[in-house]
Structure 1
Amino acid sequence: MPSLTNSVVLVTGANGGLGSQFVTRALERGAAKVYATARTPRQWDDPRIVSLELDVTDPGSVAAAASAATDVTIVINNAGAANGASLLGDLASVRALFETNFWGALAVANAFTPALRRSRGTLLNVLSVLSWLGVGDAYSATKAALWSATNTQRLKLASDGVRVAALHLGYADTPMTARLTTEKNDPADVVSAAYDGIEADEPEILVDDISRQVKTGLAGPIEGLYPQLAGGRS
């Protein structure tokens, strides 16, 4: 079974609310080293944390990071963005969102696949309940695309001994959701659940009730997920 003990973890988007928790909690669980990556890396007061520049939308930056961190055993594909883009609006904004949330995540996964093959390691893609629910508009579309890609990655890499996991959750209390007044998950709880799931070798890690409810709802009529459609069209 996978273990955080003596692992070498790389976290994208390490400066964010979830990202910083992924860094510190990995060390609490016994990781030997954590690469904390971001477009503008911060300094950490722990010699086990290596700050590394990584812009997931820049192929050169991704390649450089992969060359610098060849010893990784766990990759946390956490970097993400939200810009309010709508699929029925400015498609340039939609494309920009896909560059980070989808293409960037794929670029990171591909760049670090050789290291994960060598270590028979784990890739975790941080997704969302909105992977299965279209109410998030273009953001939902990016996460749905990455969910589909995660399933393909899982199939393609299984024979190499690489585990691929997906993390699904509702809103977490991070700077990205600061303006929302709805109930939010504690980032520390989210990351603890993520690492529990990795160590339990769970392919899909559902953090909260809303994720479990929506996942179950995928098997039912579409009106179950979208009650606004129940009245039909006039």
Structure 2
Amino acid sequence: MVAVQGKVVVVTGGRRGLGAALVDEVLARGARKVYSTGRSAFTDDRSEVVPHALEVQSADSVAALADLARDADIVISNAGILLPGRLLTGDFADITETFDVNVFGPLRVARAFAPILAANGGGALVNVHSVLSWLSGAGAYGASKAAIWSVTNSLRAELEAQHTQVVGVHVAFIDTDMTTGFEAPKATPAYVARRIIDGLEDGAIEVLADQLTVDVKAALSGPVEKLHYDISA
């Protein structure tokens, strides 16, 4: 388990939505410094926050962040995109970008920060997945979240020797710009952020942030055809 008090935290996609709530939450728990990233340059008036432009599709951009944040103890990969479209009929460029951001982006971050976390005592790596990791019907987005779930599980095994706590977060709909237009119950970003950091500090390796996610996880041993949620419906 990793306590946030006095630690240095990196939050990708920290400019808005769940990322912004995560920045607020770790600051409330006494984080010493927070590197908060967005796809373009932005400002933050809080002295503990270091805003930084990051493009997770670029290895050079990720390397520049890692070079800046060599004091990091906790890295939260939250940056992601949702580009609607089915696998057979959607724009293939959108599918490619979805995987590059949602899967290879967090992997680039993990590869860049693993030696930094090791040098700083192990720390923690947190990857944000989705309940749609386990459900069909969400096109490339769901497939990408299934892939990053698998990546996180493998990273956990690879980082065990350096004592890095690896946390996978699964959550259903959150009330953010990304889910505008979806008619479904939505948790607040603050609530989900609190659940994530509670899990981190309790030593969890997986956080199920809401009841729907708990129910879907419990159904994984059942018939696969029942694991379906069409987000285009």
Task: Please tell me the TM-score bracket, short chain as reference.
Answer: over 0.9
Instruction: Give the 3 Å change call, closer, same or farther, for CA 134–224 of structure 1 in structure 2.
Output: closer
Cα distance, 1:171 vs structure 2: 0.3
Runs of 4+ in 1 over 4 A off after TM superposition: none
SS at match of 1:76: strand
- Given that 1:38 and 1:53 are in contact with CA atoms closer than 8 Å, whether structure 2 keeps it comes out as yes
Structure 1: gaps of 5 or more residues? 229-234
Cα distance, 1:227 vs structure 2: 9.7
Bigger RCO of structures 1 and 2 (CA < 8 A, at least 6 apart): 2
Aligned residue in 2 for 1:186:
188
Aligned residue in 2 for 1:26:
26
Cα distance, 1:181 vs structure 2: 2.2
- Given that 1:54 and 1:65 are in contact with CA atoms closer than 8 Å, whether structure 2 keeps it comes out as yes
CA distance in 1, matches of 2:106, 2:98: 11
TM-score by length of 1: 0.94
The 5 A counterparts of 1:71-86 are 71-86=71-86
- Given that 2:18 and 2:190 are in contact with CA atoms closer than 8 Å, whether structure 1 keeps it comes out as yes
Structure 2: gaps of 5 or more residues? none
Cα distance, 1:226 vs structure 2: 4.2
Per-residue Cα deviation, 1:140-186 (whole angstroms, up to 9, x for no partner): 00000000000000000001101110110100000011112211011
CA RMSD between the two structures? 1.4
State the AA in 2 paired with 1:209. Answer: Q
The 5 A counterparts of 1:44-123 are 44-89=44-89, 90-119=91-120, 120-123=122-125
Identity in percent: 42
Aligned residue pair count: 228
Per-residue Cα deviation, 1:173-222 (whole angstroms, up to 9, x for no partner): 00011112211011000000000000011111001111111111111122
CA distance in 2, matches of 1:211, 1:131: 10
CA distance in 2, matches of 1:95, 1:227: 22
Per-residue Cα deviation, 1:8-51 (whole angstroms, up to 9, x for no partner): 00000111210111111111001000001112132112111011
CA distance in 1, matches of 2:208, 2:186: 15
- Which of 205, 221, 224 aligns to 1:222? It is 224
TM-score by length of 2: 0.94
State the AA in 2 paired with 1:63. Answer: A
Residue 202 (str. 1) matches residue 221 (str. 2): no
Residue 155 (str. 1) matches residue 157 (str. 2): yes
The 5 A counterparts of 1:137-156 are 137-156=139-158
Larger Rg: 1
